[in-house]
């Protein structure tokens, strides 16, 4: 059953890849900067005032909830999973955007294959080592540019930017990507995260200025 959903998602990507070859890409590059955003070359740091220091030996990523295989990944195990690279733009709700961020790490789909969510799982809730949390639709997590990144521009993700590992969901405002990620839970009902509870939009689409609920 969860396989069917996974296949559907893959079909969707294939259609998207095909479309993006001509028209969709051209439109996207013309309108690359979302409304109300300013381009920055720098990489500002946004956090809750805590940048937890997690030694690789103490790091685990747990995956649970409505899954067939509850999983706890050590740093070693996580890094032995297939690695991907993806370049994407980064849009923070505080109005800065950064182009061409090169991330590498493990694709969300790889984790999906590993834990095999049940068909009822439709929502994903991320929890971090600094107490942060955020939520994303499972369908959006399965997009081909979503990954758990351990490196940025060819170097390990720094502590201030959310190392050892952070989630990147390029199509949504950046608060939807959990830095210092610790746990990923699959749910059949939506559960609002740290900023979503505090008035930020749950859908968070930069291109429609979907900033606040």
Ligand X SMILES: Nc1nc2c(c(=O)[nH]1)N[C@H]1C(S)=C(S)[C@@H](COP(=O)(O)O)O[C@H]1N2
Pick one of 103, 175, 180, 186: the residue that binds Mo ion (CB under 5 A): 175
Pick one of 178, 183, 201, 204: the residue that binds ligand X (CB under 6 A): 178
Pick one of 89, 130, 143, 196: the residue that binds ligand X (CB under 6 A): 130
CA dist 34 and 154 (Å) reads: 26
What tokens were used for 67? 């899954």
Asked if 179 is part of the footprint of ligand X (rule: CB under 6 A), the reply reads yes
Asked if 102 is part of the footprint of ligand X (rule: CB under 6 A), the reply reads no
Asked if 46 is part of the footprint of Mo ion (rule: CB under 5 A), the reply reads yes
Using the rule CB under 5 A, give the single segment among 11-19, 24-32, 38-46, 65-73 that binds Mo ion. 38-46
Asked if 81 is part of the footprint of Mo ion (rule: CB under 5 A), the reply reads no
Asked if 211 is part of the footprint of Mo ion (rule: CB under 5 A), the reply reads no
Tell me the residue ranges of DSSP E strands in the chain: 38-39, 60-65, 71-74, 84-91, 96-107, 123-128, 133-137, 147-152, 155-156, 166-168, 181-187
CB 67 within 8 A of CB 123: no
Binding partner at 132 among Mo ion, ligand X, none, C-beta below 5 to 8 Å by kind = ligand X
CA dist 157 and 169 (Å) reads: 16
CB 116 within 8 A of CB 95: no
- Interface size with Mo ion, residues (CB under 5 A): 4
Pick one of 33, 40, 46, 213: the residue that binds ligand X (CB under 6 A): 46
Using the rule CB under 6 A, give the single segment among 17-25, 39-47, 76-84, 104-112 that binds ligand X. 39-47
CB 101 within 8 A of CB 86: no
How far lies 117's CA from each of 82, 144, 165, in Å? 19, 18, 22
Pick one of 65, 105, 162, 170: the residue that binds ligand X (CB under 6 A): 162
Given the complex with ligand X, which of 119 and 131 has the nearer CB atom?
131
Burial class (CB in 10 A: 0-12, 13-18, 19+), 93: buried
Q: How far is the CB of 16 from ligand X (least distance, A)?
A: 25
Pick one of 54, 81, 92, 137: the residue that binds ligand X (CB under 6 A): 92
Query: For residue 56, how many other CB atoms are within 10 A of its CB?
Result: 13
Given the complex with Mo ion, which of 46 and 187 has the nearer CB atom?
46
* Sites of contact with Mo ion (CB under 5 A): 46, 92-93, 175
């Amino acid at each position: 059953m969860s396989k069917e959903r996974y296949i559907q998602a893959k079909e969707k990507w294939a259609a998207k890849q095909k479309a993006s070859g001509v028209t969709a890409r051209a439109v996207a590059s013309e309108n690359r900067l979302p409304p109300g955003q300013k381009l920055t070359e720098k990489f500002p740091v946004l956090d809750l005032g805590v940048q937890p220091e997690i030694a690789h030996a103490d790091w685990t990523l747990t995956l649970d909830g409505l899954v067939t295989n509850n999983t706890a990944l050590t740093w070693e195990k996580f890094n032995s999973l297939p690695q991907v690279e993806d370049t994407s733009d980064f849009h923070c709700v505080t109005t800065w955007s950064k182009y061409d961020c090169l991330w590498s790490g493990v694709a969300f789909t790889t984790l999906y294959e590993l834990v095999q969510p049940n068909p009822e799982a439709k929502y994903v809730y991320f929890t971090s080592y600094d107490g942060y949390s955020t939520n994303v639709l499972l369908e959006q997590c399965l997009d081909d540019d979503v990954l758990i990144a351990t490196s940025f521009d060819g170097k390990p993700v720094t502590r201030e930017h959310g190392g050892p590992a952070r989630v990147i969901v390029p199509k949504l405002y950046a608060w939807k990507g959990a830095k210092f990620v610790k746990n990923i839970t699959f749910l059949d009902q939506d559960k609002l995260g740290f900023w979503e509870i505090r008035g930020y939009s749950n859908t968070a689409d930069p291109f429609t200025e979907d900033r606040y609920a």
